[in-house]
Amino acid sequence: MAPMRGALIWSALVLAIAVPLIAAAQSPLLQWRDPVYIIAGFAGIVGLALLLVQFLLIAGVLPGVPARRAHIWTGAGLVIAVFLHVAGLWITSPPDVVDVLLFRSPTPFSVWGVVAMWAVFATAGLAAFRKRLGLRAWRLGHNAAAVVIVSGTVIHAWLIQGAMEVTTKLGLCLVVVAAAVWVLRRRRVWRMLR
């Protein structure tokens, strides 16, 4: 039964990530975009997908994966995805990115994206200084940043009318939020029982 359960979990994860990526790749909006812009957009989609992987790793439900080490590497992948997303958009339109980073952009989705971006970078910094911070401070900061990252990223993704197809985007966003809520609730209950 365990191998079947593992195969189902991995299949569900692959579908949750692949279906939105495939749907976005077929978007007619990509026909007039530069390759750098397309790569930047897909880096954002991959970043959203990596959030799902992060929470599944924290929950320990991905069979055959050393969860802690994979969580660290997936976090590094998330930082790279965010960097590629922003850098690609910078290459295609520096003034727009400057306006976004300075919170001067008229587009509501940009604010959520910038907040999530800084929370991702802050989380990477917290991870780098984990031993100096102490477990309690690190855990509090890491969990708070996770809430900001998920909230900001999901709202950012949802508000953008771009290459992502609406139904698959909604599905991925809901799965990410559900995984985050499930893991964070489990952690709170675990701490209360200590």
Smallest CA-to-CA distance from 48 within 145, 188, 169, 181 is with 169
DSSP string, 115-158: HHHHHHHHHHHHHHTHHHH-HHHHHHHHHHHHHHHHHHHHHHHH
Residue 188 binned pLDDT confidence (cut-offs 50, 70, 90): low
Residues 6+ apart with CB under 8 A from 87: 40
Residue 192 binned pLDDT confidence (cut-offs 50, 70, 90): very low
Copy the structure tokens of residue 117: 């971006």
pLDDT digits (tens, 9 = 90+) for 121-142: 999 998 888 888 887 888 888 8
The reported pTM is 0.90
For residue 30, the 8-state DSSP code is G
The most confident of 4-8, 61-65, 149-153, 185-189, by mean pLDDT = 149-153
CA torsion angle 142 184 178 64 (round to 10): 80
